[in-house]
Structures are given as structure tokens and as C-alpha cells.
Amino acid sequence: MKDAIIFGGGMAGCMLADKLLAYGKEIAIVDNPARSRCSRVAAGLINPIAGSRLNLAWMAETFIPFAESYYREVEERYDQKIFHERDLARLFANDAERENWEQKKQDVKYRQWIDTLENTGIGSIPISGGKEGFAVRKAGYVDTPTLLSCLRSNLEKNTEFFEEDFEYDDISITENHVEWSGLKAKIAFFCEGHFATQNPWFSGYPFKPAKGIIGRITTDIDFSNTIIIKRYFLIPRHDATLYVGATYNWNDIVDQPDEEGIAELENFLRQHLGSKWNWDAIDAGVRPATAGGKPIIGKHSQSERVVAFNGFGSKGCMQIPYLADLLVKHIWSDHDLLRDASLSRFASKSPESRWRAVEVARERVLQVVKEGDIVCDATCGNGHDTVWLAKAVGKGGKVYAIDIQTDAIEATRARLEKENLNHRVTFLGRGHENLTSFIPIKDQGNVAAIVFNLGYLPGGDKSIFTQKKTTLAALEASLLTLKEGGILSLVLYYGHKGGSEEAKEVERWRHSLDRDRFKTEHIKNPVREGTSPSVITIKRVI
């Protein structure tokens, strides 16, 4: 048995794995690098004065020296430069920032981190516009692509490394171990970044993913190795390019840059560098940010084998080295975690943190379905929903299991055969949008429940997923098929391409229904809405 399996191999997963190896642990890692670009495009900024409010970054005095010595050690180990020290000029973006700073700078806590621009020898600031501000000491950036490639190549040699996707349904947690794909371990660490919003164990926690666009430019302007931050950052890199960024977008949770965000950065560049720059690259990643801006780490309250190490937002390079070390000591040597980073800080707010939309949908449907009923699973996928529907209708009932994928129909058939329930089910390898053309006429208008679980087939081809147009057609067809008192349920997902748009269309359609005939409900994650899956139910009253 391994000591741990780490799910997710971005910055958090790789640095945690590196730490576990240093403590002599035997580990496996599961990661598909194509799934998320966040760690690969991160600017890696180390800056103790954070954001527009100019607050001192949380625990900067502990995190920054620890991180620096960790990066120095990695540099020696792989003979590669990782941490690039830089001067940093923090310029005021507006009067409010200047006034705020006049107050803040009196606080002695800031003293070790700040100075005047003149004192630190930051000479002329090479950009146009207001140049008032202050200098920040001990700043720099981590070359995240190099860091990741060093750590990863070591991990590929010294751990069992699976370069593939994982599905939460395939991870089993028992009292004595965790298991994935035949591999057993004592602990499962979840470091999957913003995908935690889909994780049945952690989706109830206040993750607030934010897309960021970051660009690389070339310019003849001499920045003399000084980072400039004036709302956006300009980071002179070791390869003579500059990083510019970053935008924040909480609505478009995908790794692709969008026009609006690019225009935002271009405006900034035009305003401050005129036309003396060119794009070298434009990239985007989704940061695993959280509502309170602090990480989410520690053991799950329902199983100490399920551990989160996530939620570092854009501060991963500063925070991860120290917190990875602390987490390993917490798990194996009983050290206390920092309360501000620990999962347990949400305990009172989140008594039911394991929000599973599918379970909520099942509960609602089972309140309606009785033995002998006719029901329909409109997206049978791997057959999980078909099984409970088949149990609910009993020997005298009937289930129609629909899916456009042969693989899904076969997986469902196999699951039902295993449970000896297959004779209650009619398998239909068709598109649900045409369900009125293949559900027998005698059953139409007599169906007690129609269940949709949208999105793609877990463990299957992710390029095949439900589409808003066919979903809406299927919903219209379903209303004709439901009997009086019957229920239609949908589980909606927001994290995959097109998911949010599909969910929005379904929500719009729900509002368009005749309220006298249909009672509807949209049930969202009570702790965190955003991209956590939600459930819509529609009951036909008359």
C-alpha cells in the first residue's frame, strides 16, 4: 500500500509530492496536464504587498523566506534558475490608493518590506503616466514552467505517475484505505485546482475560481529588472520578455483568453508603453481562488483519508512550500494546521459540506416514484441513476434508459445485469431529443419521472456532452411524456465547455413554463453557488 495518492499535478500537487518524497513517503500521482493551464501560465509573483488595498500578504514574513530557501534548494538540486529576484515599484493606480497608503505605511509591520523609490535606487520609471508609489523589498518571480518541469521529471522517475484524467466516482474511500484504479493508499490528497468545485467531498467549500489572462510582450524599453505594478503587473523576465497581467473573470471559467480581457491588458499597455511593444504570447488559466482569499487544506471531517491541498489563488508560489511542509507534518506527526488555512474553519458554516447534486436529485425523484411506475433515464451514462430508478419501480415497473453513446448503453446494461435488474429496463441508444418518437405511444403521458444528468460521460469521451439545443428539445418532449403528478429532474454542470450556457438556457426555459401546470425549483449548493453543480426539478401539477 502507498502512503498517498495525489490527484492533480499542478504547482500544489507537484510541490506537495516533492515534500512527501523528501519525507520518505511512497506516493502515486494522477494528473492530466492538458486539463488545466493555471500552474503553467502563472506569473509566479512573489510580492508581500498584495492587491489594490495594499494589505500585507497573509503570513508573508513566514511564507516568503521559507519559499525562497525551498526554491534555492531546488535550484541547486537541478542546476536551474527558479527564483528571480527583482526590484518592485508599486505605483498608485488612483488617488484612493495613494490616500490609503499614506495611512498604511505608518504601520510598523510594513517596515521590513517597503522603502521609497529613491532609496532603493529604482531610477526613472520607464512608463508613461503617474509614477508616484513606493518600493517593495524581497520581491521577485518564480519561473513556474521551469519549476514544474524539474519537479515533474523527478516525480516521473521516483513515484508511480499516471498521466491521465481521474473521475471522482472511481475513487473509493474506506475506513482503512483509499483506492483508485486498483491502487491502494493511506491518504488521497486532492490538488486539482479549480476542479475542486466538482469534487463531491470539497465542492461545498467556498472555492471561487477566477480566470486570469496573462500575456508575454517584447519591448525595447529598458525595465532594468524592475517589476512595475500599477493595478496590472509588468514583470521583466530572464528571457528578455515581460509578463503583463493579470485580469480577473469569475464568470468564464475556461483556460482560453477572451477578447474583453485581452482588450483590458492592451489598454493598459497602450496607456503606459504607447505602441512600443508587441505580443509574444497570450495565455489564460483558472486560478483556484477562494471566497476569503486563503487556501483550503486539511482532512475532510467525514474521513481523515481525504485531504485537500488547494485554494491558493494567485499566491501559490508564496504559500505552497511552507504549507506543503506543514500539511505533511500535520498528517504524519500531528502538527497543528494554521486555522486560517484549515478546512475546519468552515465547520460551523458547512455542516453538510458534501454537496452532491445527484443525491439531491435522486431524493426529489424518489419522493414521487412508486412501485409499478414507468420512468425514464434520459442520459443513462454509466447507469448509476438507472440502477436506483429500476429499484424504485420494483418488479412491475419499467425504466427507459436512453443515451446516444453505445459505450454508455453497454456500461448501463452491464451494471444492471450485475444487480439483476436488467429485465426492468429497455435500453435505447438514441438521442433524447427524439424521445417521443421511440417511447411507445401507450406510455407517453404516463411516465412518472424523467431524469437528466447533463454533461459528459464520466470516464468516457469528454468531447461528447449534452448540447443546449438538443437538451431543450428533449425537455419539451419530456413534458409531453410526463404524467400528472410526475417529476422531471436535471443535474446541471458548469465546469465544462458549454456547461454554463446550457445551464442558463435550461434556467430560462424553466421560467418560461406555465406556472399553473408546472411547479419548478432550482436547488443550488447551499454553501457555494458559482460553478458547483445544481439541480432543477419540474413537477407536472395538472
Residues contributing to the site for ligand SAM (CB under 6 A): 379-385, 402-405, 408, 431-433, 453, 455-457, 464-466, 470
306 contacts 299 by C-beta, under 8 angstroms: yes
In the complex with ligand SAM, the residue whose CB is nearer, 311 or 499, is 499
Q: How far apart are CA 351 and CA 116, in angstroms?
A: 48
In the complex with ligand SAM, the residue whose CB is nearer, 186 or 432, is 432
In the complex with ligand SAM, the residue whose CB is nearer, 21 or 366, is 366
In the complex with ligand SAM, the residue whose CB is nearer, 221 or 404, is 404
397 contacts 424 by C-beta, under 8 angstroms: yes
* Cα 171 to chain centroid, rounded: 18
In the complex with ligand SAM, the residue whose CB is nearer, 115 or 407, is 407
Q: How far is the CB of 233 from ligand SAM (least distance, A)?
A: 39
In the complex with ligand SAM, the residue whose CB is nearer, 498 or 526, is 498
Closest CA to 428 of 438, 418, 420: 438
Q: How far apart are CA 329 and CA 331, in angstroms?
A: 5
Q: How far is the CB of 517 from ligand SAM (least distance, A)?
A: 25
Antiparallel, parallel or unpaired: β 398-402 and 425-428: parallel
Between the two ends of the chain, the Cα-to-Cα distance in Å is: 57
198 contacts 189 by C-beta, under 8 angstroms: no
Q: How far is the CB of 428 from ligand SAM (least distance, A)?
A: 9
In the complex with ligand SAM, the residue whose CB is nearer, 325 or 433, is 433
Residue of minimal Cβ distance to ligand SAM: 381
Q: Computed over its alpha carbons, how large is the radius of gyration of the chain?
A: 26
Q: How far apart are CA 230 and CA 92, in angstroms?
A: 6
In the complex with ligand SAM, the residue whose CB is nearer, 41 or 416, is 416
What does each C-alpha distance from 341 to 297, 348, 390 come to in angstroms? 6, 15, 44
The angle subtended at Cα 96 by Cα 246 and Cα 340, nearest 5°, is: 60
In the complex with ligand SAM, the residue whose CB is nearer, 61 or 410, is 410
Q: How many CB atoms lie within 10 A of CB 3?
A: 17
- The 8-class DSSP code of residue 411 comes to H
What does each C-alpha distance from 516 to 362, 505, 512, 542 come to in angstroms? 24, 21, 12, 8
Q: How far is the CB of 380 from ligand SAM (least distance, A)?
A: 6
Q: Show the 3-state SS of 240-284.
A: CCEEEECCCECCCCCCCCCHHHHHHHHHHHHHHHCCCCEEEEEEE
In the complex with ligand SAM, the residue whose CB is nearer, 143 or 433, is 433
Q: How far apart are CA 539 and CA 542, in angstroms?
A: 9
In the complex with ligand SAM, the residue whose CB is nearer, 314 or 466, is 466
Q: How far apart are CA 265 and CA 255, in angstroms?
A: 17
DSSP string spanning 462-516?
A: TT-B--HHHHHHHHHHHHHHEEEEEEEEEEE--SSTTHHHHHHHHHHHHHHS-TT
Between helices 468-481 and 499-512, what is the axis angle to 10°? 30
Q: How far is the CB of 181 from ligand SAM (least distance, A)?
A: 18
Q: How far is the CB of 400 from ligand SAM (least distance, A)?
A: 11
In the complex with ligand SAM, the residue whose CB is nearer, 277 or 465, is 465
